[in-house]
Amino acid sequence: MKNNINLASFFPPPLVRIVVAAVPVAIVCYFVAGLHDKPAAAGTMTAEAIAERLQPIAHLALAAATPAAASGASAALKSGQAVYEETCAACHGEGIAGAPKVGDKKAWAPRIAQGFQTMVKHAIDGFTGKSGMMPPKGGGSYEDLEVARAVAFMANKSGASFAEPAPVAKK
């Protein structure tokens, strides 16, 4: 004779489900509670140790302006080529975002025809046109004179004959 005893006759299925769900929860609670039962290591709860743990991860320090930069001396200002190489070439070197590539006389001709002052205004303030956009100062942090020098540099490489702007003498 065969015995037809199965596990379900000893443990009803709802009870098995509850136990199966409760066991992992009990194990997690055991380990989490175990971590809190340990006392803090000696010296970690002193006022000095707590203050050290609460320090910010970084400090901002502003450098004082150099006398040359503060007085606006032209020695501190970058040339148009330097500004172009640092920032402008990222877009104007490859024609990204509708920027006319330096040396492409056809693309630069309508801009040059608008005049140097208009081009400088668009470069300083930013501009959105039909073929693309120009962020203010190319996304850099340059003096207006440096941006004007970069505009002259790029335009001159692309068919213009603008003079590189010189600093205005202070009275």
Segment 45-101, tens digit of pLDDT: 788 888 888 887 777 777 766 555 455 555 589 999 999 999 898 889 888 888 899
Task: Please work out, in degrees rounded to the nearest 5, the angle formed at the alpha carbon of residue 139 by the alpha carbons of 71 and 93.
Answer: 110
Mean pLDDT (the chain, rounded): 81
Give the span between the Cα atoms of 18 and 41, in whole angstroms: 39
- Angle, in degrees to the nearest 10, between helices 144-157 and 116-125: 130
Q: Smallest Cα–Cα separation from 165: which of 68, 84, 78, 88?
A: 78
Q: Alpha carbon of 92 to those of 60, 72, 74, 158: distances in Å?
A: 34, 28, 26, 11
Q: Classify domain 68-157 by CATH number.
A: 1.10.760.10
Residue 58 in tokens: 């970084």
pTM for the whole structure: 0.56
| pLDDT at residue 134 tops 80 | yes
Give the span between the Cα atoms of 9 and 162, in whole angstroms: 97
Give the span between the Cα atoms of 85 and 88, in whole angstroms: 6
* Residue range 17-25: mean pLDDT, rounded: 88
* Residue-level pLDDT at 66: 57
CATH 1.10.760.10 domain locations along the chain:
68-157
More confident residue, 41 or 138: 138
* Residue range 144-150: mean pLDDT, rounded: 92
pLDDT class for 148, splitting at 50, 70, 90?
very high
